[in-house]
Amino acid sequence: MSFGGSQYDFSDKPRAYGELARDLEHLLAGERNWIANAANAAALIYGALPDLNWAGFYLPVTSPSGARELVVGPFQGMPACVRIAMGHGVCGTAAQRRETLVVPDVAAFEGHIACDSASRSEIVLPLLLPGVAGEAGLVGVLDLDSPRLARFDDADRAGLERLAAIIAGACDWPKVR
């Protein structure tokens, strides 16, 4: 199977996301290692979606001081912020709330953390284990950045939430430390 961005026509987003979900399931099938799957998922998404400058994962950890934070995981794009405090920035806020955040203009998001000054809009999706409530159910976030204002809409949210659910269920995630 060949995976490449040119095969997805995002002029019909529901269809394109359906095809991308199918390909993601095939790509992750038979592998449970979270690093391998997150790396391949980030590469597939980064290559498939137009107007992205970053696609990757942040995972929850406990810092040496005992604070809850997110640490960067596999990604595609420019070097990223390594640690983000829970509840800070778009990623930390989405993780703390356990809900998708669509930010049309990152400059208007109070507390936005600018890892790449080229980013203008962002969507962050929590990776939640099915049937596991509370903090134990959060295994990470999927973060996508774009250099274009208002890049992400409700169709992107729906399609990407489907991809996030596939990724969350396809991996043996590390225990939060």
Q: Does residue 27 lie in a domain region?
A: yes
Segments in the chain below pLDDT 70: 1-6, 176-177
Number of domains in the chain: 1
Round to whole Å and give the CA distance between 111 and 75: 22
* SS3 call for 12: coil
Q: What is the pLDDT of residues 133-176, one digit of tens each?
A: 877 899 999 999 999 999 999 999 999 999 999 999 999 998 76
Q: How far apart are the first and last CA of the chain?
A: 36
Torsion of CA 148, 149, 150, 152, to 10 degrees: 30
Q: Does residue 158 lie in a domain region?
A: yes
pLDDT of the residue at 2: 59
Q: Does residue 34 lie in a domain region?
A: yes
Q: Does residue 126 lie in a domain region?
A: yes
Q: Does residue 177 lie in a domain region?
A: no
Q: Does residue 144 lie in a domain region?
A: yes
Could you tell me which residues come within 8 angstroms of residue 165 by beta carbon, excluding any fewer than 6 positions away? 128, 130
pLDDT of the residue at 177: 55
* SS3 call for 150: coil
44: containing domain: 5-169
Q: Element (H or E) spanning 77, and its range?
A: strand 68-77
Q: Is the distance from CB of 99 to CB of 124 less than 8 angstroms?
A: no
Q: Does residue 53 lie in a domain region?
A: yes
The CATH number covering residue 35 comes to 3.30.450.40
Q: Is the distance from CB of 176 to CB of 61 less than 8 angstroms?
A: yes
- Identify which of 67, 16, 85, 12 has the alpha carbon closest to the alpha carbon of residue 45: 16
Beta strand pairing call for 138-146 and 54-62: antiparallel
Round to whole Å and give the CA distance between 170 and 34: 8
Helices (H), the chain: 13-28, 34-48, 89-97, 154-169
Compute CA distances 26 → 18, 66, 109, 170, whole Å.
Answer: 13, 38, 36, 11
